[in-house]
Amino acid sequence: MFEIINIGDSFVSVNFKEKKINLFEISKQLEKSNIKEIENIVCSNSSIGIEYDSDRTNFKIINDKINNYLQSLKINSKKKKTKIWTIPICYDKEFALDIEKISQSTDLSKSSIIKIHLNQVYKVNMIGFIPGFVYMKTLNDQLKISRKKNPRLTVPEGSIGIADNMCGIYNIQSPGGWNIIGRTPLSFFSIYNSPPIKIKPEDEIKFKKINKKEFFKILYEK
């Protein structure tokens, strides 16, 4: 059902053969386990990464502990009730930094791009590569576009980008190479909150179009 692969001297990757298994739920169970040597758990789109204290244990011991714990879990692929987020997005040219490029690449008008983007329900796959970044699948085939060859040094907070078959939300200002299709006035990440972001893998997201005036009204009221 799964295999544990040694990566470096203090990190292992748990890869599951069953694609429908809820990795996020399994990672939460591991966080509750009594394996004290585990220091950090990262849930990705296809595996669970586990960082352990190499001063207290070694790969053979941690491998046995993780293996035994996972074997004891009742792992299934039953779909749990998901939270649906409705997120406002403004496609004004001030915020949709790459919509012209997207239009040229897809041979679609701006209005068609917006309509297609709004009509999709996106499933959150993971949170990473920077704090609070939300990865979502699956982007409509008509909007598929490669990442930018030259990433921006600064992408504004709240920017919503598309790349390949995914859609993403930049919840902090950062460098980035995704094509920016719009921006939300809402902020979902804060180091002062616990957890820092409430959006979780398996949640679903639907976008709601707002105009520029509505954008700034929400921005200044939050």
CA–CA distance from 53 to each of 3, 36, 38, 59, 62 (Å)? 20, 9, 6, 10, 9
**CA dist., res. 121 & res. 162, Å (int):** 14
Give the list of residues 6+ apart from residue 103 with CB closer than 8 angstroms, or none: 109, 110, 113
Which segments in the chain show pLDDT lower than 50?
Answer: 77
- The pLDDT of residue 75 is 61
Tracing tokens 């406002």 back to the chain, one arrives at 88
* pLDDT of res. 19: 67
pLDDT value of residue 32? 86
The model's pTM is 0.73
Q: Which domains does the chain possess?
A: 2-72 (3.30.1360.40), 84-221 (2.40.100.10)
pLDDT of residue 57: 94
